[in-house]
Amino acid sequence: MHLRSYLLSIHFIAVLAAPALSATFTVNSAGDTSDANLGNGICADGGGLCTLRSAVQEANSGAALDTIEFDIPSSDPNCALVTGHGTVCTISLSTQVDVVFPVAIDGFTQDGSSANTNPTTAGSNAVLLIELMSPNPPGSGNAGLVFGSNSSGSTVRGLVMNRFANSPAIQLIGGDNNIIEGNYFGTDPKGTISLANGEGDRIASGADNNLIGGTLASARNVISDSSIGIRITVNCTGNTVQGNFVGTNAAGSAALASVSGSKGISIENNSPNTTIGGDTVVARNVIVPGAQGDAIDISNTHAGVSIRGNFIGTDLTGTVRLENSSRAINNLVTTGVTVGGPTATPGTPPGNLIASGNFGIGGQTVNNLTVKGNLIGTNSAGAVLPYLVPPIGVTTYGISLNDGTGAVVGGTAAGEGNVIAGHTDAGVKSTVGGAIGIAIVGNSIHSNGIFGAPSGLGIDLGAVGVSPNDACDASHPQNSPVITSATFGTGDVTLSGTLNSVANTTFRLEFFSNSSFEGSQHGEGRTLIGTTQVTTDGSCEASFGPLTFSRSIGQNVVSSTATRLDVGGVPTLTSEFSQNVFIAPTAADVSISGRVSTVKGIGIASVRVTIADSNGVTETTVTNSNGDYQFDEVPAGSLYVLTASAKGYTFTGPQVIAVSDSMTDVDFIGDTGRKRSRASGPSSKP
């Protein structure tokens, strides 16, 4: 008897010590019934069918990583043929499905399904045939799949999840190292129609190191038409979102966000070390918010949020704007957010392409923000990106910061500069009550202030408009340099001037060339042509020059900025642009030409284009059937004002250009609906 008891004890201990065995459950029904006999290792409801709910319930019986596959017959009453796609089986989840232990749910195992194989530069060709939805009306609070804290290491792939109104389709609560890949959220199975969720994916309550998407083509999620596409909130760290289409259709060609004010990605409540995108093209997210929404919203989060290599506000090609009223990257009480990074070509990874109908990057109480290597307001080729509708009366900025210190826009090293262009108001705007803590160095800032905005400066610090210099820089913002002499040579320019600022302090001066004046004549800085350092004396004075720099052809307007350096030589505070100086070359006759078109690029015939010189002498021509015009025998070395007029159109202006060489694209864009239009900035050729 004792021996038998002893042997039984050994057997019992061995059973307890044996590792849990993984199981594979195959879903063969699109119903939503529960398992008939929990924990027996057999997925079967009362009728002997295996539903998704019953498969998860059986997987919850053991701690091992189980797999759930699909083999639902097309004859199932919840399956239907979708023309041009395949037979889609729709599972209506009456309540949320709770996942207790790790599980791999693979919708691509359904016959006829396939993962995306197209690269980041093409739309998704995935075929998804398993659809999960909530049959309950909005406000029911019905989530889809909810993963608990013991479900770490789970994977969900190959599913369509939609109509989970007011709730997330997938929620990760406290679990780590989960992967969500190859799914469509908030769309129909073809990824073309909006079927909104409350949220696409929510990572919450200490869920760390999870991956939404990935760098493989098969990992791309389409996450669209939700109040929040991806929400990372409450003490979550190390999470990564990459390779997804957020807010677009599956083709990446059109916005699919019917929820006004919706956010593409929200990072909240102490969720540090979050990465959106990456340093390669395959890690790129395409992110488009809803009207008046935010592509990426960051709040109450500090340290280590990195936004790299994404297309924000455009289609997957980076050439078509898909929004007209949203904020691209919004910050509220943040520290240490990084947008972009050093790159050989601005806008390529880790740099971002950022388009916005409000501001590109900005917010309230933003500390130690770093912005490097981005294209802000342009297309992927660096040309100003047209608005969907001319934003007349709407203020847009490239970067807009209200309060905060330690921001760095650009940098002194190669590849750190940004291009900031095409906004109705300032390229960079900072408004605070005290010191304006922003360093702006090494950038190309141009073509801002379109549509007659109140400021339109390249850099506008403090009160709206040009900030006058004051003795010894007693108040903020930082004083700008004064260019006192500018002479023109063959392909170069020689400059001299002064700076009055804080005594016994070293400054980095940057010098820029531009093709045209801005209305205030304290314009912008298209091309960085050179730098120098000066140190003020005890009387707050410093001088520079003569300095000789190479000049870009056709760019005969020169401006400069001053940036205060700390004792270690690190840039801390930058001025607005100085008053422009026009470099007058030897006069010669040149031509000025351009095109007048609608917002959609259709040429407008019979438009009167008038050029006026500084003495008021005018000449008028009329556009041809393609909208083209040209003035010949224009004396170089002067300023000219160009305007356009036509019945049914109103053109903003006047546009002031400094002419030294022939100019080929002094273009005008007309608008009939709002009865206003804009003139685009010119470029030149020898």
Measure the CA–CA gap between 272 and 140, rounded to whole angstroms. Answer: 32
pLDDT at 609 over 80: yes
Least confident segment among 312-326, 433-447, 611-625: 433-447
Measure the CA–CA gap between 482 and 497, rounded to whole angstroms. Answer: 5
Beta strands in 86-136 (DSSP E): 86-92, 97-99, 103-106, 130-133
Q: What angle do CA 655, 401, 462 make, to 5 degrees?
A: 65
Pairing of strands 370-372, 407-410: parallel
Structural tokens at position 34? 């529960």
Least confident segment among 37-46, 69-78, 274-283, 467-476: 467-476
CATH code for 589-679? 2.60.40.1120
Interval 28-41 mean pLDDT: 97
Greatest mean pLDDT among 285-289, 554-558, 592-596? 285-289
Grade residue 449 by pLDDT with cuts at 50, 70 and 90: confident
User: What pLDDT was estimated at residue 3?
Assistant: 35
Grade residue 586 by pLDDT with cuts at 50, 70 and 90: low
Q: How many CB atoms lie within 10 A of CB 604?
A: 22
Structural tokens at position 238? 């190390």
Grade residue 673 by pLDDT with cuts at 50, 70 and 90: low
User: What pLDDT was estimated at residue 667?
Assistant: 85
pLDDT at 378 over 90: yes
Contact 515, 525 (CB under 8 A): no
Beta-carbon contacts of residue 411 (< 8 Å; ≥ 6 apart): 342, 372, 417, 441, 442
Task: Pick the closest to residue 437 from 341, 365, 535 (CA basis).
Answer: 365
- pLDDT over 70 percentage in the chain: 92
pLDDT at 318 over 60: yes
pTM of the model as a whole: 0.86
User: What pLDDT was estimated at residue 516?
Assistant: 78
For the chain, the maximum distance between any two Cα atoms, rounded to a whole number of angstroms, is 121
Task: Pick the closest to residue 418 from 366, 347, 370, 312 (CA basis).
Answer: 347
pLDDT at 532 over 50: yes
Structural tokens at position 201? 């994916």
User: What pLDDT was estimated at residue 584?
Assistant: 64
- Average model confidence (pLDDT) for the chain? 90
pLDDT digits (tens, 9 = 90+) for 482-529: 999 998 776 789 999 999 999 999 999 999 998 877 777 887 999 999
User: What pLDDT was estimated at residue 15?
Assistant: 37
User: What pLDDT was estimated at residue 674?
Assistant: 45
Task: Pick the closest to residue 646 from 599, 601, 597, 600 (CA basis).
Answer: 597
pLDDT digits (tens, 9 = 90+) for 63-97: 999 999 999 999 999 999 999 999 999 999 999 99
Pairing of strands 492-500, 294-302: unpaired
Interval 590-617 mean pLDDT: 86
Greatest mean pLDDT among 547-551, 669-673, 679-683? 547-551
Would you say domain 471-582 falls under CATH 3.30.1300.30?
A: no
pLDDT at 553 over 70: no
Structural tokens at position 49? 């069918």
Beta-carbon contacts of residue 435 (< 8 Å; ≥ 6 apart): 405, 476, 573
User: What pLDDT was estimated at residue 324?
Assistant: 85
Measure the CA–CA gap between 474 and 511, rounded to whole angstroms. Answer: 24
Q: Which residue has the higher pLDDT, 386 or 207?
A: 207
Name residue, tokens 């159109």.
649
Interval 359-366 mean pLDDT: 94
pLDDT at 4 over 50: no
Structural tokens at position 289? 């918010």
Quick one: how far is CA 133 from the chain centroid? Answer: 30
pLDDT digits (tens, 9 = 90+) for 169-213: 999 999 999 999 999 999 999 999 999 999 999 999 999 999 999
User: What pLDDT was estimated at residue 455?
Assistant: 63
Task: Pick the closest to residue 220 from 172, 252, 176, 267 (CA basis).
Answer: 252
DSSP state letter for 15: H
Greatest mean pLDDT among 256-265, 341-350, 397-406, 423-432? 341-350
Measure the CA–CA gap between 661 and 318, rounded to whole angstroms. Answer: 31
Interval 547-552 mean pLDDT: 88
Interval 572-581 mean pLDDT: 94
Interval 24-47 mean pLDDT: 97
Measure the CA–CA gap between 535 and 520, rounded to whole angstroms. Answer: 28
Q: How many CB atoms lie within 10 A of CB 109?
A: 18
pLDDT at 675 over 70: no
User: What pLDDT was estimated at residue 651?
Assistant: 74
Task: Spell out a b/e string for 186-214, using b for 16 or more CB atoms within 10 Å of the CB, else e.
Answer: bbbbbbeebbbbbbbbbbbbebbebbbbb
Contact 325, 353 (CB under 8 A): no
